[in-house]
Amino acid sequence: MRLPGRLNCWIFIVSMVSLVYALIVLCAITGSFVIPWADDRPLGLRRVLLNDHRRMSSNKARVNETDNETQSADAKRTESVDAETTASLLPSTVGADTCSWRCNAHAFYYMWYRSEDHDGAWAHWNHSRIPHWDAATAKKYSQGAHVPENDDIGASYWPQLGPYSSLDKGVIASHMAMMKRAGLGVVANDGFPSRYPPGLHDPAGRNDSFDPVADLLLDAAWAHGMRVAIHLEPYEGRNPMSVRSDFQYIHEHYGGHPALYRIPSTHDGASLPLVYIYDSYHNTAKEWSRLLSPTGDTSIRGQKGLDCTAIFLWVEAHHRVYAYAGFDGFYTYFAATGFVYGSTPSNWPSMNRVAREAGIYFVPSVGPGYIDEEVRPWNYGNTKDRREGDYFDEMFNEAAKMQPKMISITSFNEWHEGTNIEPAIDGKLSRASQDWPSRGYLSYGPDPDFYLKRTREWIERIFKPQGAIIV
């Protein structure tokens, strides 16, 4: 007689458990509440998500947007700031937005710009016109500095954001969002390891410490699903042994940040920080092999906290010897075709064969054009007209033929040399002064995002089918 009662009890328990489970699933799907025991995030963070779920969902949607929406500059900056806020609360989920195939596309990015409003003084926008080395030739051209207060900057294009400060968090975030929309995944920044090592300076005597903004860049990149590579600039006395110290510095100061871009070394496949070494030819291949060859007497290979994936700059034909000096690859940087051997696409097939023979990476560099006449007014012979995007298309097409693992873009924002793909506005005029007449800036056309969109088209065409090499 007790069996039916027991059966009824079990039926009731099973029914209640099923009902509770159904409610949990329904609430989880609709986002009505957070299930505490299913969430391994800190309790404080779970409360933030619970109390502000609707806003956070909106922000997360913006972080993971499809990247093809057209927005105003103000909206983009707002989006970037919102994304940065979201990232600070959800570092694991935002960072998990890996750059995938975008990580094969790198852009050289410059953070040397300063504005009077933000920093108290101008830098780089007020760049001086560099005199020609021949005194007679120098007399034929204008000299003196540009005057940003008169809308006169050291560039042939006017940025959509205006003459900004590279230390402005909003600007950095906006730039990361722009590059992501362009299909780019890696920012190759020239400010590492500290721009420049203590007591040293660049050839012009500058020593701008980069450390205060390094974390800002890394955090902003991570918030937008971007990564950061190092573009190691020359400085006084730079040599392979000082670069060894630079590599150690990179590991010690930035190695723990998830946004630091790493790829497999061509020596042992270890996932290591990627370092482009500009003007690497200032030292001999033999000197570099001491550092980069596994058998070198000061070798970094296989040493934790030192080893990096090192990429040299191939400029002249005879630089092929560096491909056998222990480097992991080479790049070409210059956007002016024909300027040097390495920037001449007709030479790329030969260079590509060297890369394959040596078992290293070939990272061709492509650019939208070149014009530096606002800082080198005598250098018009190297100007490369953009031809409404055709120049860019031709360089990209030649690079694609090499079937490279990676491509680098020169540049996102090197405004002085006119290689910028950062949005620029149409129809801007400088104001006349007693020293300088008014001048008009060059234009991308009616769409400030023209080159961002063009970049994405090519990157998707080349890399989207094959995935990424990031590990």
Q: What is the per-residue burial (b if ≥16 Cβ within 10 Å, else e) of 356-388?
A: eebebbbbbbbbbbbbbbbbbbbbeebebebee
Judge whether 295 lies within some domain: yes
The structural domain count of the chain equals 2
Do residues 429 and 354 both lie within one domain?
Answer: yes
Q: E-strand spans in 225-297? A: 227-232, 262-264, 271-277
Do residues 408 and 320 both lie within one domain?
Answer: yes
- Sequence-separated (6 or more) residues with CB below 8 Å from residue 171: 77, 161, 164, 165
Return the pLDDT at 434: 62
Do residues 89 and 106 both lie within one domain?
Answer: no
- What element of type H or E holds 185? none
Do residues 60 and 108 both lie within one domain?
Answer: no
Beta bridge partners of 57: none
- Of 95, 115, 145, which residue sits at a domain end? 95
Judge whether 204 lies within some domain: yes
Mean pLDDT along residues 283-312: 98
Do residues 71 and 208 both lie within one domain?
Answer: no
Do residues 218 and 185 lie in contact, with contact meaning Cβ atoms separated by under 8 Å? no
Do residues 244 and 349 both lie within one domain?
Answer: yes
pTM attached to this predicted model: 0.78
Encode pLDDT of 202-237 as tens digits: 555 555 555 668 889 999 999 999 999 999 999 889
State the residue range of the domain holding 89.
Answer: 22-95
Judge whether 137 lies within some domain: yes
**SS3 of residue 265 by DSSP:** coil
Phi/psi of residue 144, each to 5°?
Answer: 100, 170
Judge whether 315 lies within some domain: yes
Residue 138: give its domain's CATH number: 3.20.20.80
Mean pLDDT along residues 322-333: 99
- Of 51, 80, 95, which residue sits at a domain end? 95
Residue 469 has pLDDT above 80, yes or no: no
Residue tagged 């007020």 (tokens): 126
**Confidence band (pLDDT; 50, 70, 90) for 192?**
low
> Is it true that the peptide bond before 196 is cis, omega within 30 degrees of 0?
yes
- What element of type H or E holds 44? helix 43-51
d(CA 31, CA 24): 10
Do residues 149 and 281 both lie within one domain?
Answer: yes
Judge whether 59 lies within some domain: yes
Judge whether 470 lies within some domain: no
Do residues 452 and 423 lie in contact, with contact meaning Cβ atoms separated by under 8 Å? yes
Do residues 140 and 266 both lie within one domain?
Answer: yes
**Confidence band (pLDDT; 50, 70, 90) for 142?**
confident
d(CA 320, CA 315): 9
- Of 35, 65, 95, which residue sits at a domain end? 95
Do residues 445 and 358 both lie within one domain?
Answer: yes
Do residues 126 and 169 both lie within one domain?
Answer: yes
CA atoms within 13 A on the CB side of 371: 17
Mean pLDDT along residues 352-372: 99
Compute the Cα dihedral for 279, 285, 289, 290 and give only its sign. negative
Most confident of the ranges 56-60, 401-405, 435-439: 401-405
In single-letter form, the type of residue at position 86 comes to: T
Judge whether 468 lies within some domain: no
Judge whether 275 lies within some domain: yes
DSSP label at residue 205:
S
Return the pLDDT at 18: 59
Residue tagged 């920037």 (tokens): 343
Residue tagged 């328990």 (tokens): 13
Encode pLDDT of 40-83 as tens digits: 323 222 222 223 332 333 333 333 333 343 334 334 333 433 43
Do residues 125 and 242 both lie within one domain?
Answer: yes
Encode pLDDT of 148-189 as tens digits: 999 999 999 999 999 999 999 999 999 999 999 999 999 999
Do residues 140 and 244 both lie within one domain?
Answer: yes
